[in-house]
Structure 1
Amino acid sequence: MKIIVVGASGILGQAVVKHLQALGHDIITASRNSGMERVDIRDDASVRALFARTGTVDAIVSTAGVVSFEPLSSMSTEQFMLGLQDKFLGQVRLALIGLAFVNAGGSITLTTGITGHQPIAAGVNATAVNLGLEGFVQAAALELPNRIRINAVSPNVLTEALPDFAPYFPGFGSVAGAEAARAYERSIAGIQTGQVFKVGY
């Protein structure tokens, strides 16, 4: 399959690319600052230009997007908007614009996270964004044409990311990037749609 992975330079993105390449898929890597293609998921024109360059694909995978980690008592509207404009609308934008470039029977896979179901301190933005994306996936699945499927993968905090994120997840377990990557294979190669595949929790 011809698969584009947006957010390919991140820890999770790298694991997904490695896993899919090992399965023999033709992978196009894209991210803001590195990879085979550059894209800013916050910008319609940038996303349109990406798909104009790549042409049609069998699957779109997004592991992209950032959120704000800030206590609610000190969070500004601007800080809250970061997650909405980047991780939420960025991935929705990829799906809305990319839909026209997905071959019949293909798939779109977005990324949420454990905070959508297990809130953490300073994580209200992450929880809101992740649940919003899951709602989008569940509703969009009912309207997609041409047998195209859409799912989300919701991993626990990645083991490889613990040096930076462990303080936000006291008492939580973690999941290796290689294990999380298998859920993307499931979304791409399986038959389910409108699902949230939880990994590691």
Structure 2
Amino acid sequence: MQILVVGGNGTLGKAVVARLRELGHSVISGGRHDADVYVDLADPESIKNMYTDLPELDHVISTAGQTTAKALVDMQPEDNMLSVQSKLLGQINLVIVGQHYLKDGGSFTLTTGIKKDDPIPGGTSAAMANGGVTAFVKSAAIDLPRGLRINAISPNVVDVSFEKLKSQFLGYTPVSITDVAEAFVKSVVGKQTGQEYQIY
């Protein structure tokens, strides 16, 4: 199978790419930097151009999407737009555009996160985007054509990033990035749709 991983050069993306390749899949990384194919999730035209260059995709995974980390009291409407344009609409547009390019029976796997279920200070914008993606996945699952599937993965903070992020996640128990990567494999090779796999 040919699988595109948008955000494939990020911490989580690298783990997902490595696991899929270990299983024998052909994997292409997408992103704005150091990727096999360029794509900017905040730019719908960039997404269209990417799909035009990759006409034989079976599955699309997104481990990408930027969010704003800022206390609500300090936030202005424009601060929230990063999360809206990148994490929320960027991933949604991967599906809206990509449904016309993926092979029959293919799938999309998007990424949400624990902040929508277990809030942290400064995480409001990310929680909003994550919640929107989750709702989109559940609804899109009954509308996608040609046997296409869609799921989301919602990870806790992962072990390899915990040292850097532990001041934001005090009291949290990090999860193994290997376990999170395996959830992406489950979404791609399985048959479920409209699900959010929570790795908490």
TM-score normalised over the length of structure 2: 0.98
Q: Which residue of 2 aligns with 1:103?
A: 103
The alpha carbon displacement at 1:97 in A equals: 0.7
Return the alpha-carbon distance in structure 1 between the equivalents of residues 175 and 60 of structure 2.
Answer: 23
Q: Which residue of 2 aligns with 1:184?
A: 184
Q: Which residue of 2 aligns with 1:143?
A: 143
Return the alpha-carbon distance in structure 2 between the equivalents of residues 167 and 76 of structure 1.
Answer: 24
Q: Equivalent residue of 2:167, what SS?
A: helix
Q: Percent identity?
A: 40
Q: Equivalent residue of 1:150, what SS?
A: strand
The alpha carbon displacement at 1:164 in A equals: 2.6
Unmatched segments (≥5 aa) in structure 2: none
Return the alpha-carbon distance in structure 2 between the equivalents of residues 26 and 169 of structure 1.
Answer: 35
Q: Equivalent residue of 1:168, what SS?
A: coil
What pairs with 1:1-201 in structure 2 (closer than 5 Å)?
A: 1-199=1-199, 201=200
The alpha carbon displacement at 1:83 in A equals: 0.4
Return the alpha-carbon distance in structure 2 between the equivalents of residues 29 and 69 of structure 1.
Answer: 26
Return the alpha-carbon distance in structure 1 between the equivalents of residues 163 and 68 of structure 2.
Answer: 18
Letter of the 1:103 counterpart:
K
Return the alpha-carbon distance in structure 2 between the equivalents of residues 95 and 166 of structure 1.
Answer: 33
Letter of the 1:52 counterpart:
T
Q: Equivalent residue of 2:104, what SS?
A: strand
Unmatched segments (≥5 aa) in structure 1: none
Q: Equivalent residue of 2:143, what SS?
A: coil
CA RMSD, Structure 1 to Structure 2 (Å): 0.8
The alpha carbon displacement at 1:22 in A equals: 0.3
The alpha carbon displacement at 1:21 in A equals: 0.4
The alpha carbon displacement at 1:183 in A equals: 0.4
Larger mean CA deviation between 155-164 and 23-32 belongs to 155-164
Deviations 1:43-101 (A, max 9, x none): 11111111111113110000001111111111111111110111111101111111111
Return the alpha-carbon distance in structure 1 between the equivalents of residues 195 and 48 of structure 2.
Answer: 26
TM-score normalised over the length of structure 1: 0.97
Task: Count matched residues.
Answer: 200
Q: Equivalent residue of 2:146, what SS?
A: coil
Return the alpha-carbon distance in structure 1 between the equivalents of residues 124 and 42 of structure 2.
Answer: 21
Larger mean CA deviation between 173-182 and 131-140 belongs to 173-182
Return the alpha-carbon distance in structure 1 between the equivalents of residues 127 and 115 of structure 2.
Answer: 5
Q: Which runs of 4+ in 1 moved over 2 A?
A: none
